[in-house]
Amino acid sequence: MEIDFMEVKVIGFDADDTLWVNETYFRHAEERFAELLEGYETRNKIDQELFKMEMKNLELYGYGIKGFMLSMIESALELSDNNISQATLLELLNLGKEMIAHPVELLDGVEEVLESLQGRYRLIVLTKGDLLDQERKLSKSNLSTYFHHVEVLSDKKERNYKDLLDHLEISTNEFLMIGNSLKSDVLPLVNIGAKAVHVPFHTTWKHEEIEEPKEKKGYLTVQKLVDVLEYL
């Protein structure tokens, strides 16, 4: 489906797995978690229980590494019937700290795209997660100078986007969102009358998985971020 980008004046970018690598590190942590707990349960059961714990805790802790770390600790206690060793709990804490301290790895083409769009559009970051962690990653990325505004949302639903665009006095028809998640970065924007570009990442968190609509309306899919320059 052809999308008319002529009206676009403001472009929002998701951060994790759109500007830099993120989910890959969570997957590595999940694998390590399963290794540490495999004396108590099968790997498949461990993965399932950790995900259920994350979903249960989402309203309490929100998105991000700290909530994930707490969910790992709580799952470890439950799976081991409170017999998990202090040494293993300490390793889980260190695993989370390593994720927080991990260098930011920009995805291919990010700087090329931002350099091309800067000055022609107003660029903003719209991400969700832990505020401190996302601010830290943005600082480490050295991308801050490209963006007029950075917003860390508690969630990415239609109401979250609508409230923010109203607050920033951005018309939905003049707004384009670019991100890797159909569920969080694309469909909510399309549903409120904005436009979106879906740039899939090779790994997707189970919570973000969603079946692609049979009919694409209001968004297009590109395989690499740099491909958006063909349309803007």
CA proximity to 40, closest of 8, 7, 88, 90: 88
Residues with Cβ within 8 Å of residue 188, at least 6 apart in sequence? 156, 157, 158, 160, 161
Q: How far apart are CA 139 and CA 10, in angstroms?
A: 22
**Domain architecture of the chain: domains with CATH:** 10-20+104-230 (3.40.50.1000), 23-101 (1.10.150.240)
- Predicted pLDDT at 155: 87
Q: Which pTM was predicted?
A: 0.87
Q: CB–CB of 47/34 below 8 Å?
A: yes
Q: What is the pLDDT of residue 214?
A: 62
Q: Which of 31, 61, 9, 11 is nearest to 203 (CA)?
A: 31
The C-alpha atoms of residue 132 and residue 63 are separated, in whole angstroms, by 12
| pLDDT tens track, the chain, 232 positions | 567 888 999 999 999 999 999 888 899 999 999 999 999 999 999 999 999 999 999 888 888 899 999 999 999 999 999 999 999 999 999 999 999 998 999 999 999 999 999 999 999 999 988 888 889 999 999 999 999 999 998 889 999 999 999 999 999 999 999 999 998 899 999 999 999 999 998 666 565 556 776 666 778 999 999 999 999 9
